[in-house]
């Protein structure tokens, strides 16, 4: 019997290989002294490839570069990443042909560490793997979340840039601890708040909320105004590539847009709330701290509208 291909494909960025070096994902590849493993010292990005094409690739490469700059980390240029991504996706597809729309989605991660201790050469690779089943399910069924205090005020990002709050680093232990805590409370996910009462973000996602308002159309009738809002980007949160792309599509479709500041009561008063990310996409929030948000019918309607817009994003 032929052994099954590994579920994950690894392609290391290596100057000896123009399109990256394919590595055996079933074998150890990282040095035990790599600072990504010993200190979480590195950056990463996650994106979704559909039909073999990574979505929002330019935005992800730009954010990866910004995160690396915040950490004084030298990383390969964008073209090197593009070639390695192409190799990883092609290799994954050759091993796992898509038979269903779900199988046509591939998680693509870009990871770069500061390298092994005592050297100045970063360790960088691209990882291609299946989309987690839980993420797919949460797109459809929605999620229950709890509010958790992050322990910082909303201005700490500007006051203490060394905290790297706006960078996507490998130091995700706190985020994962928050998710484990939520699961123990019977919830699926978390929305962080600041110590001064502002809504921030999820451990792995951006917060969105929507309001539907009725206004005079100027001709004796009324019209429905759709408003999409996200927390302020200067409050120590990671700029969301999916949020930015969806805002652009929503604006073109006639939605009004807003950027906080938001407080927890704004979430409870919203007609719908979502956590949005590149892999899970739009996950509608059913309950926050046990309180239902909007109504099931309205959540479903608005989620369908935004999913249609999101599907147009390259």
The whole-number pLDDT of residue 221 equals 66
Are 210 and 302 in contact by the 8 Å Cβ rule? The answer is yes
The whole-number pLDDT of residue 178 equals 97
pLDDT of 216 > 80? The answer is: no
Confidence of residue 137 (pLDDT cuts 50, 70, 90): very high
pLDDT tens profile 166-208: 899 999 999 999 999 999 999 999 999 999 999 999 999 999 9
The residue length of the chain stands at 314
**Tokens 């046509």 sit at which residue?**
104
The pLDDT > 70 percentage for the chain reads 95
Q: Where are the alpha helices (DSSP H) in the chain?
A: 35-39, 57-70, 78-95, 133-141, 156-159, 173-184, 241-252, 264-269, 296-310
Instruction: Give the β-pairing of 281-288 and 143-149.
Output: parallel
The model carries a pTM of 0.91
CA–CA gap between residue 243 and residue 259 (Å, rounded) = 11
Give the H or E element holding residue 276. strand 272-277
Instruction: Kindly tell me the sign of the dihedral angle through the C-alpha atoms of 211, 213, 218, 221.
Output: positive
The whole-number pLDDT of residue 166 equals 87
Are 77 and 117 in contact by the 8 Å Cβ rule? The answer is no
Phi/psi at 79 (5° precision): -65, -35
Q: Say which range, 5-9, 13-17, 19-23, has the weakest mean pLDDT.
A: 5-9
Look up residue 120 and give its DSSP letter.
-
Output the average pLDDT for the chain. Answer: 92
Are 122 and 112 in contact by the 8 Å Cβ rule? The answer is yes
Edge-to-edge strands, sheet with 123-130: 17-23, 9-14, 123-130, 105-113, 42-50, 53-54
- Give CA 312 to chain center in angstroms: 18
pLDDT tens profile 49-104: 998 999 999 999 999 999 999 999 999 999 999 999 999 999 999 998 877 777 78
pLDDT of 215 > 80? The answer is: no
């Amino acid at each position: 019997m032929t052994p099954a291909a590994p579920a994950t494909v690894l392609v290391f960025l290596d100057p000896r290989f123009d399109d990256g070096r394919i590595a055996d994902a079933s074998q150890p590849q990282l040095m035990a002294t790599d600072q990504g493993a010993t200190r979480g010292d590195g950056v990463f990005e996650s994106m979704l490839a559909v039909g073999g094409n990574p979505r929002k690739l330019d935005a992800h490469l730009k954010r990866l570069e910004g995160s690396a700059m915040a950490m004084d980390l030298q990383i390969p240029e964008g073209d090197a990443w593009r070639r390695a991504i192409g190799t990883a996706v092609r290799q994954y597809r050759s091993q796992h042909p898509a038979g269903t729309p779900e199988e046509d989605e591939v998680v693509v991660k870009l990871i770069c560490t500061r390298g092994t201790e005592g050297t100045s050469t970063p360790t960088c690779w691209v990882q291609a793997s299946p989309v987690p089943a839980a993420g797919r399910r949460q797109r459809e069924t929605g999620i229950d979340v709890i509010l958790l205090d992050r322990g910082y005020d909303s201005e700490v990002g500007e006051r203490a840039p060394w905290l790297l709050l706006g960078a996507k680093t490998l130091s995700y232990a706190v985020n994962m601890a928050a998710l484990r805590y939520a699961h123990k409370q019977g919830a699926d996910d978390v929305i962080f708040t600041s110590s001064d009462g502002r809504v921030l973000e999820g451990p792995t996602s951006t917060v969105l909320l929507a309001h539907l308002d009725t206004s005079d159309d100027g001709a004796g009738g009324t019209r429905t105004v759709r408003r999409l809002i996200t927390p302020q980007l200067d409050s120590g949160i990671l700029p969301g590539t999916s949020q930015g792309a969806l805002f652009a599509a929503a604006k073109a479709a006639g939605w009004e847009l807003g950027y906080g500041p938001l407080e927890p009561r704004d979430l409870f008063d919203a007609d719908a709330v979502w956590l949005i990310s590149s892999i899970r996409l739009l996950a509608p929030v059913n309950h926050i701290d046990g309180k239902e948000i909007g109504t099931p019918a309205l959540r479903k309607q608005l989620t369908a509208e935004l999913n249609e817009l999101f599907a147009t994003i390259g």
